[in-house]
Amino acid sequence: MSNEHKTKPGDETAAVYWRENVKLVCGLLTIWFAVSFGAGILFVEALNNIQLGGFKLGFWFAQQGSIFVFVALIFVYAARMRVIEKRFGVSEE
């Protein structure tokens, strides 16, 4: 963020809103990375030593688990943003 242009009234809260959004996005993307690139690729052999029903855990993350988590991440983001938007009074609803 550069400060070379003049701040208008209201910018303070706009900046705070944006920071909260970016923080949330970073948190969710960490999980996104952990389940796919982490569990499904980088640490797949180690996790394959753990059995989940008839699945090796690493293989399950790579072919099923990561996809379920992806779906959940998007809905969590949508729900959290609704709350944040209401709080800042910028919701369109």
Which residues form the interface with other proteins (CB under 8 A)? 1-2, 4-5, 9-10, 13-14, 17-18, 21-22, 25, 28-29, 32, 36-37, 40-42, 44, 48, 52-56, 59-60, 62-64, 66-68, 70-71, 73-75, 77-78, 81-82, 85, 88-93
Return d(Cα 43, Cα 45) in angstroms, integer: 6
For the bound state, the minimum distance from the C-beta of residue 91 to other proteins, rounded and expressed in Å, comes to 7
**15-20: long-range contacts, CB 8 A cutoff, minimum separation 24:** 16/88, 17/84, 17/88, 17/90, 20/84
